[in-house]
Structures are given as C-alpha cells and as structure tokens.
Structure 1
C-alpha cells in the first residue's frame, strides 16, 4: 500500500516573500496499513515562487513493482512579491482558476508569467526507491497542467492525463494526455480528448459558489476491453439558466466520452446524469464532481456525482444536496446517454451544502474516490457536510454490477 502526500511548510515572515517549502512524499506499508515506513521525498522546493500540487499515484497492473507518481509544478516569474502572494494561497485549483480567468479576460491580467509542467517519478521496486523527479510535459509560458493522472492500458502503455489550461488557446481548458511505451522512460507529444466548458456550480437558492470539479475530470480504463472512459462537469448541454440573487450562470451536467483505440479518437461528449428538470428552480438541475470506474469484469461503467434535485430550501438556508451512482452496461453503447440508468442515491438523507467548509466555495473535495473491487463490486468515497464547517467522508458498497 502507498500514501502519496503533498506537504507544505508554514510561511516564514522573516524570509523574502514568506519563503516556504512544498514537496511530495510517498509512504509505504507492507502489512495492509497496520504500520508505515518512513516517507520517501520525491521532490522538495524551497521557494515562494514554486508550488508542487495536485498529485496522484498509480500502481502498474501489467508490471510487478512499477509505481508512477505525477503532479504539476506551478512556478511564477519574475520573482516578485505579487507573484509570491498568488502562490501563498497554497491551493492549486484556486490559483489555476484565477490564472485561467485572467487569460480568458474575466479578471485583471497578472504582472508576471507562469508555467505548470507535469512532473513524474517512478519506482520499479514497489516504492522502496524512486527515480529523480523530472518534467515530462511542458505546456509553455502562461500555460499550465493540473490534475495529472497516469492510467495503464492493457498492453502496458502509460497515458498521463491532465487538464491543460491556456495550451490550445488563451483561456481554454482541455483534457489532454501524453503517452509512454517504455514505462515512463520517454513520452510522446500531447493529444487532446475534449475541451471543458464549465464555469462552475452555485448553491441553488442563495447562489453561493461551490468548490466543484469544473476544471478537473475523472478517467478510468476498462480492464477487459481496454476502452478509456472520461467524465467531467460541462455546461454545453442545457439551455436553461441558473438564476439566483447573486446572478445567472449556465447549468453544469456530467459529460462522458469514450475512446476505443487507446486515446487516438474520442466519442462526442454526451450528458449522462439523470438529474430531473426543474422549471421552478433550474439551479437544482446542476450536477458536479463526477468520478468514473469500470467494473473488474469490464461489463459495467459506474459514474458518481452530486446534485440538488431534493433541495426545497426548507427550512430556509438548508440547501439540500445528495450523492448518486449511475450505471451503463458495456454491452450497449455507453456513448448514448439513453443507455445510462439504474441510478442509486448513495446518501441516506440530504445534507446542507451551506455547511461545507469554504475554500473558494463550499468545499466537499476536488475529487471523490471510486474504485472497483473484484469483478462486480465498486466502492465510492464521498464527502458529506455533517455540521457547520465540517465535512466527513463516507463510503457505500455497490455490489451486483452486471
């Protein structure tokens, strides 16, 4: 077992711009989590102008002992106080959104440049030792990656997926990947699966921002067929508008796209969530923070997400939120939204999104966990706001997938 952690030292007011460390550590357990070995440092940056962020770890199911670590390293230059103050937030998603908005013309242009390459380190001995961390994809100046995730195809090929910001066009957000045929020794240039069209979710009654996954995505590989599945928030599907006391915004749904040729081509995105229409309050049609996984036998795709369908704003300032699972049998074309169904509500009762902690919006987490277990079982991990400023993590067993 492995635990991959982003670590930060507190800022020191006596050093220029409050210099601090950011780094990536991997801990290892050989007794199913009962005890843990000392963490190994993959990278350590001692600069207020560098932030290592948004890390993920992947064990290779096709090569025993191989484990892959990826993350983005956001850096700003020239080294000015304003640049350091941006990274001082220590929150890569909030920073990325600010930089994206600036490039899209929705915010003041920053008086510095930035870049955010994908970094990679691997172990070939089950995490005992690791290669020197190094960039594997350079997005260019005033562009960045975030949400790097390695997925392994059936033939052992690695794909490092990422959100690319300002890479294909100024203000653009795309899901891209690079490929390695030699276990991370070398990588191809970038390919892009789809753009992301999303401005983000607001609470359905008071219009407060929600910390959602509007620049992120989830990706999985079918272990039997090799198909690759993507899910993300997107507002291209619905024409209704969410209007609250704070303004109007498009309505995000859950987008799905599939590649059956190793990522060379992708199906046209379709909206798959089953959130019902709500003419009285279209804001209750918003769906957010998706996760996707394929069952171990390859016969079912599972997608989970939140929405506000059960919200009644009763009592006032209780904005009801629930978590759902949705399924598609791979014996049918899952690129057809009509083939998604058998929806299950995973929360036993609605919770109040206004209780969620705020980190640039009511915060349940940037991701929700979703993993297959055995052939026909999946386990989601999801956040619920249980009291003011408190989020607890829950799981449910989803069994009998066919």
Structure 2
C-alpha cells in the first residue's frame, strides 16, 4: 500500500462472523452461478440497551449468504453476538424459500438492520425470484436480541419483469421503538428503455412492522434514475433526513448526484431535494462497476454511499466513491459534512492514501468523542500473476472530517479479489458495508475473500479499533 499504512500486525480484536452455509443444498429455479459459502454485503447494528454492559454488548450483523452471479443470494443470514462481538450465533432469516417458514421467493438480497431504543431489532431485505423477476420488500423483527425472528411482513410486492423493487434500507425512530421507516427504489417499465421510470418509495410502521403505510417521496424526470436511499432519524422528535443518489441524463451525458430531503413530521411531508454533492465517476465506470488493469470490480460506484450523524452536534457526514481527486482516472474515497442540517456542505476531502490505486466501498461512523472513522478497500501496489490484491483499511479524522490521519490501519491481510463471487458486472464483496461504534471504539464490519483452497469462499469479519492507539 505504501509507507503510510501501518505494518500489518494482527489486530487485538478481529473476529469472523459468518460460517458455512446453513442451506448448502437449496436448489431453486432460475439461472446463474451459485457461490456456496460466499458471504458478502454485511450490515450491522448494536443494541442500545446493552452498550453500557462492557463485554456483553448485543450486536447483530445481517449479510447475503451464497451469493449468485446474476443477483441476490440463497439466504439472508443474521449473526447475533451477546458478548461484544467475540462469538456469534448464526440464523437464516425467512425472506425466501430456502429458509423454513420463508416467503415463496427464490432468493434474497440487500439486508439492512436497525435497533429501537427498547432493543427491538428490525431487518429489511429484498425478496427476489430470478426465474420470474418477481420482487418484494419485506421485514422481520426480533424482540430477544436476535435469538429468534418474527414471520416476514411484506411491505410492497410486484410481479416482474417490467416492475422491480430494489435497494431497501430501514431505520427505527429513536424516540419511538414501535415506529420505523423503510425506503427503496421502485423501477417501472424496467424492460422498456423509452418508458423507464424510477421512484423512491417510503414506508412507515407505527406498530412494530405489523402494518405499513406507503407512498412515493421522490419522482425524477422520466429517463433519470434514482438508486440507493437511506434515512437518518435525528434525536429531535420527528426530524428525518433522507439521502439518495440521482443520475440525470441529458444529451447522452450523465451527471451523478447525492441529494437530501428533510421531514419534520416523521415522514408525513418532505422538503424539496437539495444537492449534497456531484459525483465524479472514473472513466471506466459502467453501470455500477469500474475496470482496473482491465479487471471489472463491482463496487458502490455512483449509486451507493454511506451516511451517518453525530447525535451530539447534529453534524451530518456522507462518504462515497469519487474520481475528482485523480481527474477522473480512478475511484477514491470522498467525504463531506454539514453542520446546519444539510443546507450547506463542506468541500469534499480525500480519505484514502494517494497510491495511484483505486479505493472503494466506504463506510463512515462517528464515535462518542466526535471522531470520524471511515473503512474502505484499496488495491495494493503488488501485482502477482493471476491476482489483484485488495486491502481492507480504516482511517480516522480528529477534526470532524476536515482531514484524515496519514496512517491507515490494515483491518486484515490483503486478499485476492479475483476469487470473490463474480456478480453481473464485476468481482463483488458487496454494494455497501457498515460500521458501528461503542463508546470510543469503532467496529468495522467487512468482507474478506479467501483463497481457492479454503472451504469458505468469502467471510464476514468484525474488527475493533481504539483510535487513541
């Protein structure tokens, strides 16, 4: 990576969450290569009722298990820890037919989790049938720290292939654990380029997910496209921030943006969208992937970002992949912040080390002292035959996102991303990942790819980092 990355030494706390597939023999209709024992795209949350019980914190991480080459996975698994991440209990969630009691859909994808103030865990996911392109946005909850889960509730379902639901996320209201919000993108006329339309849908429950009210909260012009969508619920009652990406096409040119909407009444009404930032893609960017050394990598690209909030100060942070620092040559990690509720945003800063190699899939979090941490991957300078080494990394900012430490922390040894699942447009470890904080500590959750000789193709790991050391 370069001299500014700390020499790789085993972290004091690095634990594997995932394990072998719980549904290795599940055969469903549809085409595509199934990568058994490949875990990707993790998202984690910590139970707020347990954060003061040091060593007994309840953490739940959800992820895709047995990823397919052409979309989704055999199951969404949930790892539950009752000892601060040291050990994990794995359960497959009932979002699809591979799991007992699951929905009738063939596969599942896009897992997301959020805790209520009383310890109730909510998970959303996309249920998907590759043979018909039927899709649904569904949720489950756990009231016992992830030991068991409710039957799934469908928020929205559509029959394919002309209508498609995608890219869900869920957020529980910090002031009311019975109330939660889900946002996602719904594509109509999906197979008709001249009629293609995307909209962002919003769902709200007031009774722990038993019923949901839905509506459209953003509708771009026909031909323009929204992708990922995330809600941040502020400590102030009723205040929600909705972030999303928008691709605007005009005269055969596409401009990519991150935008923000706000609501002061728990999602009943929403402000007009404001631009957070333009996104500059690398020259090799093609529909959510980019090429490096002629190798296609499917990453967050211009569609996915990471966002968080400092609950003490109200400062908002967003991080994304951007090629502006290299004049469009390679993707790197950018971060911007707002101290006035998203009205104005600081000029983006580069997070990663400048090595001439791409960096991708950022995740941002803030600890209790206001330090900002970002995890990401970066290709290394090593060029062995038949391999592309990638290093999972972490950096911290001590000045609230204005600059980042020169020394990055290696979360694990570099891995060869060419042994990762190949998902549609490139080698794939996830469109997004996550990071939690407990006190001063950061807990990045990430995918690590194994060699071809290992029984596991890829696994989900959690690390603990003390920024003071």
Does TM-score exceed 0.5, indicating one fold?
Answer: yes
Residue 40 of structure 1 corresponds to which residue in structure 2? 153
How many Å apart are 1:380 and its aligned residue? 1.4
Aligned ranges for residues 270-349 of structure 1 at < 5 Å? 270-275=349-354, 277=355, 282=356, 285-295=357-367, 297-309=368-380, 311-314=381-384, 316-329=385-398, 332=399, 334-335=401-402, 337=403, 339-347=404-412, 349=413
Instruction: Kindly indicate whether residue 220 of structure 2 is the aligned counterpart of residue 148 of structure 1.
Output: no
- Give 2:189's match in structure 1, choosing from 58, 76, 84: 76
Please give the per-residue CA displacement for 1:138-185, whole angstroms capped at 9, x wherever unaligned: 112111211100012332410111011117995111000211110011
1-structure distance, mates of 2:338, 2:250? 20
- Give 2:417's match in structure 1, choosing from 326, 345, 353: 353
2-structure distance, mates of 1:168, 1:341? 40
Residue 397 of structure 1 corresponds to which residue in structure 2? 464
RMSD: 2.2
Closer/same/farther in 2, CA of residues 400 and 197 from structure 1, 3 Å limit = closer
Residue 96 of structure 2 corresponds to which residue in structure 1? none
2-structure distance, mates of 1:221, 1:136? 22
Please give the per-residue CA displacement for 1:55-99, whole angstroms capped at 9, x wherever unaligned: 10111223332211110001127xxxx53xxxxxxxxxxxxxxxx
Q: 8 Å contact 1:232–1:289 — kept in the other structure?
A: yes
Residue 306 of structure 2 corresponds to which residue in structure 1? 218
1-structure distance, mates of 2:231, 2:308? 10
- Give 1:181's match in structure 2, choosing from 264, 269, 272: 264
Normalising by structure 2, report the TM-score. Answer: 0.68
Closer/same/farther in 2, CA of residues 183 and 298 from structure 1, 3 Å limit = farther
2-structure distance, mates of 1:391, 1:115? 35
Residue 138 of structure 1 corresponds to which residue in structure 2? 219
Residue-pair matches, total:
337
Normalising by structure 1, report the TM-score. Answer: 0.79
Instruction: Kindly indicate whether residue 154 of structure 2 is the aligned counterpart of residue 55 of structure 1.
Output: no
2-structure distance, mates of 1:123, 1:155? 19
Instruction: Kindly indicate whether residue 248 of structure 2 is the aligned counterpart of residue 160 of structure 1.
Output: no
1-structure distance, mates of 2:297, 2:369? 34
Closer/same/farther in 2, CA of residues 45 and 203 from structure 1, 3 Å limit = closer
How many Å apart are 1:27 and its aligned residue? 0.6
Structure 1 unpaired stretches of 5+: 13-19, 84-109, 240-248
2-structure distance, mates of 1:203, 1:142? 25
- Greater RCO, CA 8 A, separation 6+: 2
How many Å apart are 1:301 and its aligned residue? 0.5
2-structure distance, mates of 1:10, 1:168? 32
Residue 25 of structure 1 corresponds to which residue in structure 2? 138
Structure 2 unpaired stretches of 5+: 1-120
2-structure distance, mates of 1:252, 1:131? 38
How many Å apart are 1:391 and its aligned residue? 2.5
Q: 8 Å contact 1:300–1:401 — kept in the other structure?
A: no
Bigger helix fraction: 1
2-structure distance, mates of 1:141, 1:298? 44
Q: 8 Å contact 2:320–2:361 — kept in the other structure?
A: yes
Q: 8 Å contact 1:57–1:149 — kept in the other structure?
A: yes
How many Å apart are 1:400 and its aligned residue? 5.2
Please give the per-residue CA displacement for 1:275-323, whole angstroms capped at 9, x wherever unaligned: 4x3xxxx3xx21111010111x1421110111122x4223x11221110
Q: 8 Å contact 2:370–2:400 — kept in the other structure?
A: no
Please give the per-residue CA displacement for 1:257-285, whole angstroms capped at 9, x wherever unaligned: 1100000000111112124x3xxxx3xx2
